[in-house]
Chains A and B, each alone.
Chain A
């Protein structure tokens, strides 16, 4: 296991190099001078020149790159152009909110997708199957931000059941926290549910026609036992990979969901830093999301090997 992890981490290095290179290229494509953006419009040319020197902006690009990577390795992600606070600190403050929202979305997605996917495959080519498949395709076709607006209109404006915004931290009041996050989590979870349901349906179909399922049925095991213990357990493996891939979609969806429901997480931070031209902050969010995806993909590989003993760790190469 340790060797497998070490190997996977080593494989991540070149990818990480390109990740930093892409972000560095993006930063340098930003029109305007970072020192001027940091000091504001009224800054004197002398002050700008001094800060440029201090920030190393007068150095060649590759020197800037090496220093920038070095700073990040030490946990220094720079300072916000807006409030001049540490980017890392702000990221860490916002992270739990997005983590809670994403976790809620995952729970909702699984709760909807697993029964729907299993039923659709089990009752293939029936009304249940067509209904569930069409609903999933619909879920993929509805823009997330519009679904959010419609949810607000229905549950907050029309029925007045749930608050449209007004996030309450868990530490303050759990009940109100959950009430505030219910709609956002549903909004974020529904797209994922559609993806997972489609994947689960097709892998269930494959597994259900396998010999071991026929054997289990022939043994006279109850339908539900065959479905859950035999079929689902095997069908869920490709779904986990899809989940890993979908984390990116989930984090992107969090941007939309947090903006619409005014949830103060990383997504809202990203949009606000785009509007405010707060590039160090935007850079921080982009780096954080890329690192999160890298780590989750590693985690998926490990979980994969734990669920399916047929997959040998040492030999696996993604």
Chain B
């Protein structure tokens, strides 16, 4: 096949993709709530990346001359905690643990779950039965109970908490990917590829996977919200991020003792989690709407 013949459809496809992407972006922008979600998430992301430059104080520097200062008093915007650390700075640095956990845990769950689901859906048979009964079993455990049990076995720490969250997400991606492959496998273009002599590997990588990206991304974006909450919960129970590294969950854990004297310590990290998760949720909902043909 000559190069020109090959390049022409490719260029046309690229142009079509670009137009398609632009249309999707425009659809997304019309959903104002979803757009607001993306903007808020971008702000949190920037705060996490630029934390050392934005935060007015070190998140771990203690100051026993000004502990438990209420918000707005003196030089501390959101007050100080029981060790005199600046709450605003700790919230900014705390965003790192939440975002890392959200993105990495979901990524891990995807990396393990998607290929297994692909294989199960594509090859079927005994392998599929075994893999699917395994996911059924995984889904029998309450998500938080399983995360807690895995975290308890692995021991405390942010990295281990991420693994604990990924373990719970893995079967979700497996099931979704399998369902997607089952739906796509019978389509004409797969038959056509096979007739043309494409190998299984090529069909999986070039045809099935790209056509299944949309639902996986939607599921993933919504799971990021859940993963952020789970990380905060594990840290709140003392199994996630360890002190003195600030994370929103562990800040809330420490703040519990001072609920009567210093309620702001319990308020700000919670608002930070809720706002971030809400932003991810509405953005995820927006992504789902532009991709879901039923809502068009």
CB distance from B106 to the nearest CB of A (A): 16
- On whether A143 and B229 interact (CB within 8 A), knowing A255-B145, A289-B145, the answer reads yes
Interface of B, helix, strand, loop or mixed by DSSP: helix
Count: A-B pairs, CB below 8 Å: 132
Given contacts A153-B259, A153-B263, contact A137 B140 (CB under 8 A): no
A179 CB → nearest B CB, Å: 20
| B92 part of interface (Cβ distance < 8 Å) | no
Q: Which residues of A contact B249 (CB under 8 A)?
A: 143
Chain A residue numbers with a CB within 8 Å of B150 are: 26
Chain B CB within 8 A of A149 CB: yes
A243 to chain B, nearest CB (A): 14
Q: Smallest distance from the beta carbon of A124 to chain B beta carbons, Å?
A: 13
Main secondary structure of the interface of A (DSSP, over half): helix
B151's closest neighbor in chain A, by CB?
A274
Whether A274 lies near B133 (C-beta < 8 A) is: no
Instruction: Kindly state the separation between the CA atoms of A130 and B62 in the bound complex, as whole angstroms.
Output: 45
With A145-B252, A146-B270, A150-B270 as given contacts, are A252 and B144 in contact (CB-CB < 8 Å)? yes
* B136 & A282 in contact (Cβ 8 Å cutoff): no
Interface residues of A in 186-212 (CB under 8 A from B): none
Q: A140-B281, A149-B259 are in contact. Are A251 and B145 (CB under 8 A)?
A: yes
A145 to B133, CA, bound (A): 32
The answer to whether B145 and A252 have CB atoms under 8 Å apart is yes
Q: Mark A227-271, 1 if CB is under 8 A from B, else 0.
A: 000000000000000000001111111011001000000000011
Tell me if B236 is interfacial: C-beta within 8 Å of chain A: yes
Residues of A within 8 A of B (CB): 14-19, 21-22, 26, 29-31, 137-138, 140-146, 149-150, 152-153, 157, 247-253, 255-256, 259, 270-271, 274-275, 282, 285-286, 289-290, 293-294
Question: Which B residues fall within an 8 A CB radius of A?
Answer: 129, 133-134, 136-146, 148-150, 152-155, 225, 229, 232-233, 236-239, 249, 252, 256, 259-260, 263, 266-267, 269-270, 273-274, 277-278, 281-282, 285
Q: A141-B225, A249-B142, A271-B148 are in contact. List 7 more A-B contacts (CB 8 A).
A: A140-B225, A141-B277, A142-B270, A142-B273, A142-B274, A149-B256, A255-B144
- List, sorted by A's number, 20 A–B pairs whose CB atoms are closer than 8 Å: A15-B140, A16-B137, A29-B154, A138-B278, A143-B249, A144-B229, A145-B233, A146-B270, A149-B256, A150-B266, A150-B267, A153-B263, A249-B144, A252-B143, A274-B148, A274-B239, A285-B145, A286-B141, A286-B146, A286-B149
